[in-house]
């Protein structure tokens, strides 16, 4: 008899082989795998007693806590569908996502109870409101319900094509869309992740990446598959990260490039002694080669760049290291590591195609759109057939990312298609310009975007966050860019800002910057 490809199989195996091994660390709480899965079973029993059945949706609004982690097992093993909501969103966003997903049960962390209370009358489909921490009137207490529950519940048969989660996109320019991820999608992504980022039994993984973000890039299940330790981190704080790395002997973490910049540039008094040997997966945007170089050469960490989208469960490429890369100078090696890389063995087929639908030549210059098909591509957008047809109507998922392919087959993103700057007929990659400016000793963060130009149609403009205590002028930044890039790629204007506008998952909102810099440039 064939077994369905589902990440629940990872739980079954690890519980059988490693029941007494440490599974979860959440502040003072420490759970073995048997204790952890007993809690999951009890919560499944509670939900089933509430009438939750196969196909029903259960939504969570929570940071990286043990209760949030438990949802990735307790809900799916009922055959129900988990809806992990970005807890940093507004109450208005909560209303849209919870209502659109059709969630019958809503579980909320203490920090967001007040926000949800303010819109409860606009959530007519929610039958039960559960406080994961900090119980208050009008809410059922998660821990009390668990304590009173039996671990026995009826386990349905689950097909690998069944919905596992609905993950909502950032919704930076429109309403968030619900990405339907199946059990098979998540299983295949986890297996592929372990092929390129082996986690050994008992190794600790630090939750610097939000679990709600594409299911924590499936590390919610991948760490369990390896019988590793989930070290929870409810609030991203560099001092806490370095402390937990030391105390819990953390060997693994995932982070968007914005978080890596934060860690790489934390003051010495915040970092303390930085243990070497930490392995990092980074994705979500193109990391700067300078950041990779700093983490690898100064800290002794190993950074692996992966690429994907919520719609692809999420990984479709990995910057796979090759023997010929090892002997390169640090700067050249970091530049290669900043590329998106090649298909994972498990993810499916990837092509970069031009406007004619044909694959672009592997010349490192010709730009096309990344398209993909295979085992990790979503089932579609929930209750949105039009958006599904636009994204994947021809059998390929269209990413919206503009990229080139190098002669060795390594893909390198140049920009989001909508963010490519066309100046005097020349395409300018904002990613390339940002990477150059991040090598300026005074620059901490930078975003490059196009603005109207009287002569060239469009020209690059840079929004720059300076390092603490550093100074720089607009002319200095522009000259630095001209010294390191073709002159037409250099910004024609620079704005110094205290912070860059970002989504809750750390992606820079360039449309906000463009909106605030709409005047026509004449430089």
In this prediction, residue 330 has a pLDDT band, given cuts at 50, 70 and 90, of confident
In this prediction, residue 425 has a pLDDT band, given cuts at 50, 70 and 90, of low
Q: What is the reported pLDDT for 504?
A: 63
Q: What is the reported pLDDT for 154?
A: 97
pTM listed for this prediction: 0.86
What CATH superfamily is the domain 8-182?
A: ANL, N-terminal domain (3.40.50.12780)
User: Which segments of 40-142 are extended strands (E)?
Assistant: 57-61, 81-85, 103-108, 128-131, 140-141
Q: What is the reported pLDDT for 519?
A: 42
Give whole-number Cα distances, 45 to 34, 50, 141, 243, in Å.
16, 9, 15, 37
Q: First-to-last CA distance in the chain?
A: 70
Domain ranges of the chain: 8-182, 346-417, 420-515
Q: What is the pLDDT averaged over residues 299-323?
A: 95
Helices and strands (H, E) in the chain, number of each type: 19, 26
Q: What is the reported pLDDT for 522?
A: 41
What three-state secondary structure class fits 336?
helix
| 149 close to 46: Cβ distance less than 8 angstroms | yes
Q: Which residues contact 10 (CB under 8 A, 6 or more apart)?
A: 190, 221, 222, 224, 225
Q: Which of residues 294 and 167 earns the better pLDDT score?
A: 167
Highest mean pLDDT among 307-316, 425-434, 457-466: 307-316
**Nearest-CA neighbor of 97 among 171, 5, 152?**
171
Q: Which residues contact 384 (CB under 8 A, 6 or more apart)?
A: 177, 178
Q: What is the reported pLDDT for 507?
A: 75
Residue 291 has pLDDT above 60, yes or no: yes
Highest mean pLDDT among 1-5, 342-346, 508-512: 342-346
Residue 242 has pLDDT above 60, yes or no: yes
Q: What is the pLDDT of residues 22-56, one digit of tens each?
A: 999 999 999 999 999 999 999 999 999 999 999 99
Residue 198 has pLDDT above 60, yes or no: yes
Q: What is the pLDDT of residues 145-191, one digit of tens each?
A: 999 999 999 999 999 999 999 999 875 456 789 999 999 999 999 99
In this prediction, residue 202 has a pLDDT band, given cuts at 50, 70 and 90, of very high
Q: How far apart are CA 101 and CA 61, in angstroms?
A: 13
Q: What is the reported pLDDT for 505?
A: 64
The per-residue b/e assignment along 433-442, b for 16 or more CB within 10 angstroms, e otherwise, is bbbbbbebeb
Q: What is the reported pLDDT for 335?
A: 87
Residue 342 has pLDDT above 60, yes or no: yes
Highest mean pLDDT among 191-200, 323-332, 427-436: 191-200
What CATH superfamily is the domain 346-417?
A: Luciferase; Domain 3 (2.30.38.10)
H helical segments located in 297-421: 323-326, 330-337, 385-392
Q: What is the pLDDT averaged over residues 447-476?
A: 88
CATH number of 420-515: 3.30.300.30
Q: What is the reported pLDDT for 159?
A: 97
Q: How far apart are CA 319 and CA 157, in angstroms?
A: 37
H helical segments located in 137-213: 142-148, 183-196
% the chain with pLDDT above 70: 96
* R_g (Cα) of the chain, nearest Å: 23
Q: What is the pLDDT of residues 94-125, one digit of tens each?
A: 999 999 999 999 999 999 999 999 999 999 99
Q: How far apart are CA 138 and CA 104, in angstroms?
A: 16
Q: What is the reported pLDDT for 174?
A: 61
């Amino acid at each position: 008899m064939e077994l369905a490809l589902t990440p629940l199989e990872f739980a079954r195996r690890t519980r059988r082989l490693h029941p007494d091994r440490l599974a979860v660390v959440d502040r003072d709480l420490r759970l073995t795998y048997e204790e952890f899965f007993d809690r999951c079973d009890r919560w499944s029993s509670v939900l089933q007693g509430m009438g939750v059945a196969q196909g029903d949706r259960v939504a969570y609004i929570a940071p990286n806590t043990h209760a949030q982690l438990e949802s990735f097992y307790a809900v799916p093993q009922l055959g129900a569908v988990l809806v992990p909501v970005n807890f940093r969103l507004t109450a208005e966003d909560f209303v849209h996502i919870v209502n659109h997903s059709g969630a019958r049960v809503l579980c909320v962390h203490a920090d967001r109870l007040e926000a949800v209370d303010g819109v409860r009358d606009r959530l007519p489909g929610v039958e039960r409101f559960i406080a994961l921490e900090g119980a208050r009137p009008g809410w059922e207490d998660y821990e009390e319900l668990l304590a009173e529950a039996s671990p026995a519940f009826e386990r349905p048969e689950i097909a690998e094509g069944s919905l596992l989660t609905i993950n909502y996109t950032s919704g930076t320019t429109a309403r968030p869309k619900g990405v339907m991820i199946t059990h098979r999608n998540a299983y295949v992504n986890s297996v592929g992740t372990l092929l390129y980022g082996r986690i050994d039994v008992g190794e600790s993984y630090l939750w610097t990446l939000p679990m709600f973000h594409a299911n924590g890039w499936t590390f919610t299940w991948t760490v369990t598959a390896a019988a590793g330790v989930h070290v929870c981190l409810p609030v991203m704080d560099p001092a806490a990260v370095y402390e937990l790395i030391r105390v819990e002997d953390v060997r693994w973490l995932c982070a968007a490039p914005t978080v890596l910049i934060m860690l790489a540039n934390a003051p010495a008094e915040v970092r303390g002694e930085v243990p070497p040997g930490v392995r990092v997966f980074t994705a979500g945007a193109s990391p700067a080669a300078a950041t990779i170089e700093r983490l690898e050469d100064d800290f002794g960490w190993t950074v692996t760049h992966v690429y994907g989208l919520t719609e692809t469960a999420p990984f479709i490429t990995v910057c796979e290291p090759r023997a010929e890369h090892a002997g390169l100078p640090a700067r050249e090696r970091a530049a290669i590591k900043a590329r998106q890389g090649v298909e994972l063995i498990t993810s499916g087929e990837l092509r970069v195609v031009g406007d004619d639908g044909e694959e672009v030549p592997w010349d490192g210059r010709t730009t096309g759109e990344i398209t993909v098909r295979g085992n990790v591509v979503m089932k579609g957008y929930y209750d949105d057939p039009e958006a599904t047809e636009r994204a994947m109507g021809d059998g390929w998922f269209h990413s919206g990312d503009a990229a080139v392919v190098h002669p060795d087959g390594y893909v390198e993103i140049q920009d989001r298609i909508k963010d490519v700057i066309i100046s005097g007929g020349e395409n300018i990659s904002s990613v390339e310009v940002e990477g150059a400016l991040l090598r300026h000793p005074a620059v901490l963060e930078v975003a490059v975007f196009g603005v109207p130009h009287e002569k060239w149609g469009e020209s690059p403009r840079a929004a720059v966050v300076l390092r603490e205590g550093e100074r720089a002028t607009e002319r200095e930044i522009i000259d630095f860019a001209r010294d390191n890039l073709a002159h037409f790629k250099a910004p024609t204007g620079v704005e110094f800002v205290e912070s860059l506008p970002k989504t809750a998952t750390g992606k820079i909102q360039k449309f906000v910057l463009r909106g605030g810099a709409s005047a026509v440039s004449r430089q």
